[in-house]
């Protein structure tokens, strides 16, 4: 008897967990909260869940890719691929990011894994900044949102790319090492994995992905909650009234992009709805800053990198975008 | 054999995410959160969660020997410390806190009903300020005289009123035939079809703002207000009001969802109807009226003079989704 249980223990626990989950679900449907629950909290909850539901597929893809990098890419690969020259490395990383169709929610686990595999921090940042900003879906949605006009979409991609390169360059000058939090040690080499079969490697890729998911999920959830909170309770109107001059309107739009934490595939429509309240440079500030770094993303980065580094990158990105757009405002 | 409590919790959480997403799809509530276009994407998330769950259950029981799994093998170097939590380390208050965060969306997802965004959110999103600035594009195209036009209450308006009664009869002239249901499901049309639609819109004297075309027509009308002035319009939306509107004015509005509810933007027409003050915010109404032009805070806006209206219940699909125009 004991042996039978031992032999099937995984099946048995699986079934027990499924039963428990179904029990909890059926329990929950009995206690639906009544309608006198404050509507603003329900709004908050709906927005919160919608951000999560939208982000989860991308996060899952992100952690799966991260798991793949962890298991199948070795330090030697990275050393061979990344150019020794810093400038070349930055440009390459930005190009790879531009070709790589990522979303800003899924990119942090990938970046973390790349850095732990020995990708220099500046190259990883270049990749992180262009990944969500430049991809076909973003181009198409921006094109559409601005009345089928290629100008804004083109400026968004072009300026974004240049800004990403500048930021990555500055990062390469200011920050050394991997910038991981002290509590996270740079990892273990998986040398021993080489001898294992493909199935085993595939399996450990998946288990790594699960751990990665649990690492990221809590930051994603906090970020989604904060963004939903801001949307539910912060009146955009007062912000809009605050942003009258070119400087303040750019600051307002960048601030909005940061706190709203919209997906880069969808933010063009929101940006477009401001398009004549504010001048074009401010709209571009919204469209470029949001995908690069936002509230949700900052929290996820804080789970991996040092506080000083995250805020360093955040302020570099913000100031470079601000300066670039201010300089170019006469030409746009 | 050792039972890893945390691994079991993680398995339960993964399964709960699977069930939550599946549950939303099953009940159809998913469209209250995301654009149906992305339904497939979130279904695949549910499937990935399920897969991860099946992998996770194998980690609940471990043999004592390989408890520290692969780390055990290369102990000569100290690189073994993983920079992420494998769920094998002792359970601390900090961890309890992170698990609580992770289960919070599960709890609120199962316990709280999905809510359709209401007028309160519209106000937070900027309300009329957003509506008026969307229209400034049209502003450029209008001559300066247009703002005076709508203040002339005399002859012009009477002319418009006459027009209504005539046009109310030929309601069959709806532009529904353009709307091939298959196309609308995918919400994608080609550029030619789009041009054709706007052409037909211009020729028709009755405009019916149905769900699929609402946003497209809205843009078109806002951009060329003058061309549409005097036409009959029929629309459904919820009532939004804010300080600064006149007694007999209200906004009939809808949310446009491009990806998920978080990126909802408000669109709507400023309307005039005598009973406006008695209609509560968030009431869904179906209204018919005549398109006109007005200025609001210095911006030229389309304006609907409502001729008749009725309260309706909230539509099954309260949100609008943008029409995709194939660019290639």
Structure tokens that stand for A149 in this block: 């006009």
Task: Name the one residue in this structure whose structure tokens are 């309890």.
Answer: B96
Q: Establish if B300 touches chain A: CB-CB under 8 angstroms.
A: no
Output the pLDDT for position B174. 35
Q: Do B223 and B236 meet the contact criterion of CB atoms below 8 Å apart?
A: no
Separation in Å, CA A27 to CA A21, B19, B112 = 10, 14, 13
Q: Dump pLDDT digits (tens) for A92-143.
A: 888 888 887 777 778 888 888 888 888 888 999 998 999 888 887 788 778 8
Cβ contacts of A233 on chain B, cutoff 8 Å: 124
> How many CA atoms within 13 Å lie on the side-chain side of B127?
24
Nearest CB among B8, B38, B260 relative to A51 is that of B260
Q: Which residue of B has its CA nearest to A42?
A: B115
Q: Tell me whether residue A36 is exposed, middle or buried, using C-beta atoms within 10 angstroms of its C-beta: 0 to 12, 13 to 18, 19 or more.
A: exposed
Q: Do A75 and A118 meet the contact criterion of CB atoms below 8 Å apart?
A: yes
Nearest residue to B229 (alpha-carbon basis) of B142, B133, B128: B142
Q: Do A125 and A92 meet the contact criterion of CB atoms below 8 Å apart?
A: no
Output the pLDDT for position B1. 74
Residue A195: band (very low, low, confident or very high) from pLDDT cuts 50, 70, 90: low
The span from the CA of A242 to the CA of A253, in Å, is 11
Output the pLDDT for position A332. 73
Q: Establish if B58 touches chain A: CB-CB under 8 angstroms.
A: yes
Separation in Å, CA B271 to CA B171, B177, B217, B237 = 21, 27, 16, 11
Decide if pLDDT at A146 tops 60.
Answer: yes
Output the pLDDT for position A237. 67
Q: Establish if A196 touches chain B: CB-CB under 8 angstroms.
A: no
Nearest residue to A175 (alpha-carbon basis) of A135, A100, A215, A115: A115
- Taking the CA of residue A28 and the nearest CA in chain B, the distance in Å comes to 6
What is the mean predicted confidence (pLDDT) over A236-257? 78
Q: Do B304 and B269 meet the contact criterion of CB atoms below 8 Å apart?
A: yes
- Tell if the CB–CB gap between B55 and A206 is shorter than 8 Å: yes
Q: Establish if B50 touches chain A: CB-CB under 8 angstroms.
A: no
Task: Name the one residue in this structure whose structure tokens are 């099954």.
Answer: B316
The span from the CA of B82 to the CA of B79, in Å, is 8
Structure tokens that stand for A150 in this block: 């290629």
Q: Establish if A140 touches chain B: CB-CB under 8 angstroms.
A: yes
The span from the CA of B187 to the CA of B35, in Å, is 11
Cβ contacts of B25 on chain A, cutoff 8 Å: none
What is the mean predicted confidence (pLDDT) over A189-216? 74
Output the pLDDT for position B67. 45
Q: Establish if B85 touches chain A: CB-CB under 8 angstroms.
A: yes
The span from the CA of A331 to the CA of A28, in Å, is 58
Structure tokens that stand for A234 in this block: 């912060």
The span from the CA of A303 to the CA of A291, in Å, is 19
Nearest residue to B289 (alpha-carbon basis) of B224, B202, B222, B228: B228
Output the pLDDT for position A185. 52
Decide if pLDDT at A191 tops 60.
Answer: no
| Residues ≥6 apart with Cβ < 8 Å to A18 | B15
Backbone dihedral region for residue A42 (phi beyond 0: left; psi -120 to 50: alpha; all else: beta):
alpha
The span from the CA of A296 to the CA of A258, in Å, is 9
Nearest residue to A175 (alpha-carbon basis) of A83, A312, A319: A312
- Tell if the CB–CB gap between A49 and B41 is shorter than 8 Å: no
Cβ contacts of B130 on chain A, cutoff 8 Å: 236, 273-274, 277
Q: Establish if A137 touches chain B: CB-CB under 8 angstroms.
A: no
The span from the CA of A150 to the CA of A141, in Å, is 11
Radius of gyration, CA atoms only, chain B: 27
Q: For all residues of chain A together, what is the average pLDDT?
A: 81
Structure tokens that stand for A291 in this block: 């995908």
Q: Which of residues 15-44 of A touch B (CB under 8 A)?
A: 17-18, 20-22, 24-25, 28-29, 31-33, 37, 39-43
Residue A314: band (very low, low, confident or very high) from pLDDT cuts 50, 70, 90: very high
Q: Read off the pTM.
A: 0.77
| DSSP at B114 | P
Q: Do A283 and A274 meet the contact criterion of CB atoms below 8 Å apart?
A: yes
Cβ contacts of B59 on chain A, cutoff 8 Å: 207
Task: Name the one residue in this structure whose structure tokens are 């919204």.
Answer: A286
Q: Establish if A151 touches chain B: CB-CB under 8 angstroms.
A: no
Cβ contacts of B137 on chain A, cutoff 8 Å: 147, 275-276
Cβ contacts of A220 on chain B, cutoff 8 Å: none
What is the mean predicted confidence (pLDDT) over A206-214? 87
Q: Establish if B41 touches chain A: CB-CB under 8 angstroms.
A: yes
| Residues ≥6 apart with Cβ < 8 Å to A148 | B191, B325, B327
| DSSP at B179 | -
Structure tokens that stand for B163 in this block: 């027009």
Q: Dump pLDDT digits (tens) for A263-309.
A: 777 677 777 777 766 788 888 998 999 889 888 889 888 888 889 99
- Tell if the CB–CB gap between B265 and A269 is shorter than 8 Å: yes
Nearest residue to B318 (alpha-carbon basis) of B182, B175, B127, B115: B115
Output the pLDDT for position B276. 83
Nearest residue to B107 (alpha-carbon basis) of A1, A27, A176: A27
Report the interhelical angle of A39-72 vs A198-233 (nearest 10°).
150
CA angle A253, A258, A261 (to 5 degrees): 120
Nearest residue to A38 (alpha-carbon basis) of B120, B243, B216: B120
Backbone angles phi, psi at A285, to 5 degrees: -55, -45
Backbone angles phi, psi at B254, to 5 degrees: -140, 160
CA dihedral in degrees (B76, B80, B81, B82; nearest 10)?
170
Q: Tell me whether residue B64 is exposed, middle or buried, using C-beta atoms within 10 angstroms of its C-beta: 0 to 12, 13 to 18, 19 or more.
A: exposed
Regions in chain B scoring below 50 on pLDDT: 67-83, 135-185
Output the pLDDT for position A320. 93
- Tell if the CB–CB gap between A48 and B108 is shorter than 8 Å: yes
Q: Which residue of B has its CA nearest to A148?
A: B327
Strand, coil or helix: B294:
strand
DSSP codes, B264-286: -EEEEEEEE-GGGGGSPTT-EEE
Tell me the sheet residues that pair with B311: B285
Cβ contacts of A179 on chain B, cutoff 8 Å: none
Report the interhelical angle of A246-260 vs A280-292 (nearest 10°).
30
Structure tokens that stand for A116 in this block: 């732990």
DSSP codes, A130-167: HHHHSSHHHHHHHHHHTTS-HHHHHHHHHHHHHHHHHH
Domains and CATH numbers, chain B: 2-63+90-115 (no CATH), 120-140+186-326 (2.40.50.140)
Report the interhelical angle of B39-57 vs A39-72 (nearest 10°).
60
Nearest CB among B13, B133, B256 relative to A274 is that of B133
Output the pLDDT for position B15. 92
Q: Which of residues 232-291 of A touch B (CB under 8 A)?
A: 232-237, 240-241, 260-263, 265-270, 273-277
- Residue scoring higher pLDDT (B79 or A194): A194
Nearest residue to A269 (alpha-carbon basis) of A127, A99, A153, A103: A153
């Amino acid at each position: 008897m004991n042996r039978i249980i031992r032999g099937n223990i995984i099946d048995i626990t699986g079934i027990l967990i499924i039963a428990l989950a179904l029990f909890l679900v059926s329990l929950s449907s009995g206690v639906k909260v009544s309608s006198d629950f404050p509507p603003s909290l329900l709004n908050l909850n709906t927005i919160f869940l919608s951000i999560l539901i939208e982000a989860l597929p991308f996060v899952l893809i992100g952690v799966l890719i991260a798991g793949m990098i962890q298991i199948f890419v070795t330090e030697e690969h990275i050393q061979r691929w990344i150019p020794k020259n810093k400038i070349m490395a930055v440009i390459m990383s930005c190009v790879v990011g531009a070709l790589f169709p990522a979303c800003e929610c899924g990119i942090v686990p990938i970046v973390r894994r790349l850095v732990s595999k020995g990708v220099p921090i500046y190259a990883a940042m270049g990749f992180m900044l262009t990944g969500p900003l430049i991809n076909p879906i973003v181009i198409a949605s921006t094109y559409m949102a601005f009345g089928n006009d290629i100008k804004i979409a083109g400026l968004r991609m072009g300026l974004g790319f240049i800004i990403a390169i500048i930021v990555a360059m500055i990062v390469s000058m200011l920050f050394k090492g991997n910038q991981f939090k002290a509590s996270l040690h740079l990892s273990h080499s998986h040398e021993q994995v080489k001898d294992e079969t493909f199935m085993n490697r595939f399996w450990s890729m998946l288990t790594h992905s699960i751990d990665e998911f649990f690492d990221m999920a809590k930051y994603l959830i906090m970020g989604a909650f904060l963004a939903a909170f801001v949307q539910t309770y912060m009146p955009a109107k007062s912000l809009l009234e605050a942003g009258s001059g070119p400087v303040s309107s750019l600051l307002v739009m960048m601030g909005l992009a940061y706190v709203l934490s919209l997906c880069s595939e969808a933010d063009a429509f929101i940006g477009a709805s401001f398009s004549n309240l504010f001048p074009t440079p401010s709209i571009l500030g919204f469209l470029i800053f949001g995908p690069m770094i936002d509230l949700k993303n900052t929290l996820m980065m804080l789970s991996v990198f040092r506080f000083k580094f995250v805020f360093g990158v955040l302020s570099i990105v913000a100031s470079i975008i601000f300066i670039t757009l201010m300089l170019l405002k006469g030409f746009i | 054999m050792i039972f890893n409590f945390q691994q079991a919790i993680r398995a339960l959480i993964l399964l709960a995410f699977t069930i939550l997403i599946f549950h939303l799809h099953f009940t159809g509530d998913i469209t209250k959160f995301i654009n149906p276009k992305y339904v497939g994407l979130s279904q695949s998330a549910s499937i990935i969660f399920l897969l991860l769950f099946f992998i996770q259950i194998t980690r609940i029981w471990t043999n004592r020997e390989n408890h520290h799994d692969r780390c055990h093998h290369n102990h000569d170097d100290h690189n073994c410390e993983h920079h992420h939590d494998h769920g094998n380390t002792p359970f601390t208050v900090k961890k309890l806190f992170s698990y609580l965060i992770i289960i919070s969306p599960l709890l609120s997802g199962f316990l709280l009903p999905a809510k359709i965004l209401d007028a309160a959110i519209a106000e937070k999103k900027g309300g009329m300020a957003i509506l008026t600035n969307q229209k400034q594009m049209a502003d450029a195209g209008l001559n300066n005289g247009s703002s005076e036009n709508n203040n002339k209450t005399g002859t012009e308006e009477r002319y418009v009123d006459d027009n209504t009664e005539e046009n109310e009869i030929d309601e069959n002239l709806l532009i529904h035939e353009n709307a091939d249901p298959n196309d609308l499901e995918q919400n994608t049309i080609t550029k030619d079809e789009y041009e054709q639609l706007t052409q037909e819109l211009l020729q028709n004297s009755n405009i019916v703002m149905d769900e699929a075309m609402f946003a497209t027509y809205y843009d078109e009308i806002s951009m060329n207000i003058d061309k549409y002035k005097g036409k009959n319009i029929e629309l459904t939306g919820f009532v939004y009001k804010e300080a600064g509107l006149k007694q007999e004015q209200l906004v009939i509005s809808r949310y446009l969802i491009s990806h998920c509810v978080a990126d909802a933007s408000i669109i709507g027409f400023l309307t005039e109807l005598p009973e406006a003050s008695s209609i509560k915010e968030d009431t869904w109404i179906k209204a018919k009226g005549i398109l006109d032009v007005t200025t609001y805070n210095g911006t030229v806006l389309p304006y609907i003079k409502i001729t008749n209206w009725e309260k309706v219940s909230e539509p099954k699909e309260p949100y609008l989704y943008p029409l995709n125009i194939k660019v290639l």
